[in-house]
Structure 1
């Protein structure tokens, strides 16, 4: 009997770890079938402010290659992939614009800033205070990484922690996008 309970406990623990850092928030109903955070769809537009106070509007970046990474300071997989994302932001500088999108509606500005400082992250981090961008991109668990081509369409999406190789492959596909 104890083995059965231990097996069940192990299976549930593994399921939580594999799922990543989840959220209780239900997905928003799609309003336009051509828009969404999925490959081939037009990336949902947004205007957010960086930690340094700069306003960023996605549609104004049209023509550039964008890598978005949705994260929170309390999310262990998010923290684990940040050093690789920092390295990619340097390796692909001038080719890809990298933005962290902090799920501030589920985090705090202070904790997010502390993590960015502690990890010495130099790429800009957008503060999704209302949670609307996370909702529009249907980022139900964290981290979520989305690449957007110069035409404003999503090229790749990955839900969960990226390995270094997976992240590099996303950056490489993004740089080849027409």
Structure 2
């Protein structure tokens, strides 16, 4: 399966630029997972780390949910994979966890993120509060943070993919 990434436009308004870079990084993570089976996607980096490509996708589903649904939209959207008892639950995979479930969940959260973001201008503040600062957050800040979050984890994904099958590149 070949994933086509769309390069962000180089001559557009700020919102389109931010959305373009966020989508580019979403597509990058999807590309890093493409063509691998569930066992490969569950493969952890190096002991004792449990970091895996499937875990990263599950993590990003929860991150999308947290910022765009709980903070921006003030929805009562509970975490999907982690809990107070297991703060890294998205990385604690079992043989029952599948790429199909992780991918479907992640894509649903991206769809919800886009829907919620469409209701706000860049300078509008969130309806909910950040659990880190207890303050409202602008959509611009959320977009910027999400780009940073994906970019950091895409670096992890690069290394994981190379370890799994030697594939390197953007």
**TM-score when normalising by structure 2:** 0.26
Which one has the bigger helix percentage?
2
**TM-score when normalising by structure 1:** 0.26
Of the two structures, which has the highest relative contact order with CA contacts closer than 8 Å and spacing of 6 or more?
1
